[in-house]
């Protein structure tokens, strides 16, 4: 096993830089800097020297095999966050035998291989590092803490129980089976199907929290859409002008809106036009606005918009409120009045949707559950068709279990059989 090393903190100037090593030679590598090793898990200040020169004064932290993030013998060097100090230490490490620079994600991969994390936790950790808003952090933390594995384990136990019941029926097929297990299996399957369908429903919103919600600003040319976008972004993200048809491409601005990740889309003003480029822009505007999670219709004095209709949760606001009196949701991108109210209204609508967010944050999770649901629906149909289909049903149950196992990266048929036989106790 190679010993790997990498800068664990971000590149560039910083107060402190953390260099991480993992693998059998990581303690030896620290010793190469001519320092006495501190005891495990006790940080100690050491002068790292090479060829008689002090490279940096660092905190050294050692972890023993089986008691580290990766599960391997590992070490950390907490250097000054100086690009030059970091490179000088990296240069030495690159010349030591048995050491090499780590590949992306390799420490976590080792943690997975050593059983410190399951596959879903690894995904949760990746999302935690990518999290930019509170909702994303909370959701990622739940997955990282093992929520998916715990659930999968419960569902799995039910499926194993159902499988054991069916296996018993198969083995006793020639004899008189004392009890018909079908009702009990059906009850297990139906309860589980309801759970899994709820998870799938919650996964769509969880995926939105992970990737962000899209909110499109739509309206007639010159309604003030780009001015509003700039007010929301607090910077000149889009060109504005008194010329109708200024915006052509969709302009995206990502924001943290009450803890939710939101991408605002500024779009071309909608109207009939003979300008080819403008009409291409309008096509894009309509497509993106329709696909968005929410639309803000910014009204001016012009008539109704063509090509797009207001949907249930959409917001309709009167623009240029500084120029004319009115009622209802009103705002001025120019003065900023009404903009916080719009933000609050958007936040309220999106927050309302996040209530049902589940733990399945990725398409991969949803597809695994959908495969399990499909397999369980087959089980159901086969059982209802009668005893002669029990073997088929048992096969489909195993297929459902494998799909759940793929959630956490455990696809091990041996253990499945082991558990089936462990719960198998009708005198055999
Ligand atoms: N300096 C530093 N900070 C860090 C990390 C790190 O690797 N180094 N982490 C890296 O991502 C996170 C903390 N995660 C860690 C996870 C496990 C162990 C660890 O040593 N686990 C042992 C002992 C557990 C214990 O003492 O309770 C184990 O699980 O056996 C350390 C850090 C965030 N902060
Ligand atoms: N008084 C006032 N003028 C505004 C307001 N918002 C925008 N304007 C002006 O209206 C004109 C059009 O603004 P834009 O933001 O470019 O409008 P748009 O909807 O993006 O226009 P297109 O991209 O061409 O569809 C500019 O001259 C802005 O300065 C507002 O709230 N109040
Ligand atoms: K304009
Ligand atoms: Mg514009």
- pLDDT for 291-346, tens place per residue? 999 999 999 988 888 889 999 999 999 999 999 988 889 999 999 999 999 999 99
Cα 419 to Cα 232: distance, rounded to the nearest angstrom: 56
Ion ligand 4 neighbours, Cβ < 5 Å: 225-226, 246-247
State the pTM of this model: 0.87
Mean pLDDT in residue range 181-193: 92
Confidence of residue 173 (pLDDT cuts 50, 70, 90): low
- Give me the percent of the chain exceeding a pLDDT of 90: 80
Asked if residue 31 has pLDDT above 60, the reply is yes
For 307, the token pair is 């090509």
For 236, the token pair is 């000149």
pLDDT at residue 5 in the model? 97
Q: Which of 4, 10, 43, 68 to mutate to test the pocket of ligand 1 (most atoms within 8 A of CB)?
A: 68
Which CATH architecture does the domain made up of 124-207+361-413 adopt?
Answer: Up-down Bundle (1.20)
Which DSSP symbol is given to 395? H
| CATH dotted code for 212-355 | 3.40.50.300
Q: Judge if the beta carbon of residue 323 lies within 6 A of ligand 2.
A: yes
- Give me the percent of the chain exceeding a pLDDT of 70: 94
For 249, the token pair is 């491409």
Cα 240 to Cα 233: distance, rounded to the nearest angstrom: 14
Residues with CB under 6 A from ligand 1: 18, 63, 67-69, 76
Angstrom CA distances, 372 to 39, 307, 337, stand at 49, 40, 51
Confidence of residue 35 (pLDDT cuts 50, 70, 90): very high
| CATH dotted code for 3-117 | 3.30.1360.120
Q: In this structure, are residues 394 and 135 in contact, taking their beta carbons and an 8 Å threshold?
A: no
Domain with CATH 3.40.50.300 in the chain: 212-355
pLDDT at residue 414 in the model? 41
Q: In this structure, are residues 350 and 264 in contact, taking their beta carbons and an 8 Å threshold?
A: no
Q: In this structure, are residues 314 and 297 in contact, taking their beta carbons and an 8 Å threshold?
A: yes
Among 25-29, 178-182, 379-383, where is mean pLDDT lowest? 178-182
- pLDDT for 256-303, tens place per residue? 999 999 999 999 999 999 999 999 999 999 999 999 999 999 999 888
Q: What ipTM goes with this model?
A: 0.88
Quick one: which atom of ligand 1 is closest to the CA of 18? 1
Cα 250 to Cα 354: distance, rounded to the nearest angstrom: 26
- Helix, strand and coil content of the chain, in percent to the nearest 5, comes to 45, 15, 35
Domain with CATH 1.20.120.430 in the chain: 124-207+361-413
Asked if residue 421 has pLDDT above 70, the reply is no
Cα 357 to Cα 119: distance, rounded to the nearest angstrom: 20
Domain with CATH 3.30.1360.120 in the chain: 3-117
Q: Which residues contact 356 (CB under 8 A, 6 or more apart)?
A: 201, 202, 205
Mean pLDDT in residue range 108-115: 91
CA 264 to centroid of chain Cα atoms: 20
pLDDT at residue 417 in the model? 33
Q: Which ligand is nearest to the CA of 8?
A: 1
């Amino acid at each position: 096993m190679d010993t790997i090393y990498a800068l664990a903190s971000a590149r560039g100037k910083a107060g402190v830089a953390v260099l991480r090593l993992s693998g059998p030679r990581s303690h030896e590598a620290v010793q190469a800097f001519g320092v006495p090793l501190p005891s495990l898990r006790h940080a100690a200040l050491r002068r790292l020297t090479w060829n008689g020169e002090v490279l940096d004064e660092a905190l050294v932290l050692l972890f023993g095999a089986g008691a580290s993030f990766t599960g391997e013998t590992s070490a950390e060097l907490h250097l000054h966050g100086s690009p030059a100090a970091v490179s000088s230490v990296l240069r030495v490490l690159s010349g030591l035998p048995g050491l090499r620079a780590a590949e992306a994600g390799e420490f976590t991969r080792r943690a997975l291989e050593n059983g410190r994390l399951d596959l879903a936790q690894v995904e949760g950790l990746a999302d935690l590092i990518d999290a930019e808003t509170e909702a994303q952090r909370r959701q990622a933390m739940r997955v990282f803490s093992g929520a998916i594995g715990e659930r999968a384990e419960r569902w799995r136990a039910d499926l194993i129980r159902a499988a054991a019941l069916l296996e018993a029926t198969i083995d006793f097929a020639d004899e008189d089976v004392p009890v018909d297990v079908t009702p009990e299996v059906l009850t297990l399957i139906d309860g589980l199907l309801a759970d899994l369908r709820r998870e799938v429903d919650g996964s769509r919103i969880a995926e939105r929290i992970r990737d962000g919600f899209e909110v499109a600003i739509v309206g007639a040319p010159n309604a003030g859409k780009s001015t509003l976008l700039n007010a929301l972004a607090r910077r000149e993200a889009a060109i504005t002008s008194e010329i109708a048809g200024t915006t052509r491409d969709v302009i995206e601005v990502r924001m943290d809106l009450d803890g939710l990740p939101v991408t605002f889309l500024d779009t071309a003003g909608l109207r009939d036009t003979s300008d080819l480029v403008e009409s291409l822009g309008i096509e894009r505007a309509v497509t993106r606005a329709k696909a968005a999670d929410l639309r803000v219709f910014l009204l001016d004095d012009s008539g109704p918009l063509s090509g797009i209709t207001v949907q249930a949760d959409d917001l309709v606001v009167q623009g240029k409120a500084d120029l004319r009196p009115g009622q209802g949701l009103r705002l001025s991108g120019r003065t900023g009045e009404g903009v916080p109210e719009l933000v609050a209204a958007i936040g309220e609508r999106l927050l309302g949707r996040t209530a049902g967010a589940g733990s399945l944050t990725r398409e991969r999770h949803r597809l695994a559950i959908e495969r399990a649901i499909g397999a369980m629906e087959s089980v159901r149909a086969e059982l209802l068709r009668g005893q002669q289909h029990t073997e088929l049903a048992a096969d489909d149950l195993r297929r459902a279990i494998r799909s759940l196992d793929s959630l956490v990266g455990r696809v091990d048929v041996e253990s499945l059989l082991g558990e089936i036989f462990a719960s198998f106790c009708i005198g055999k």
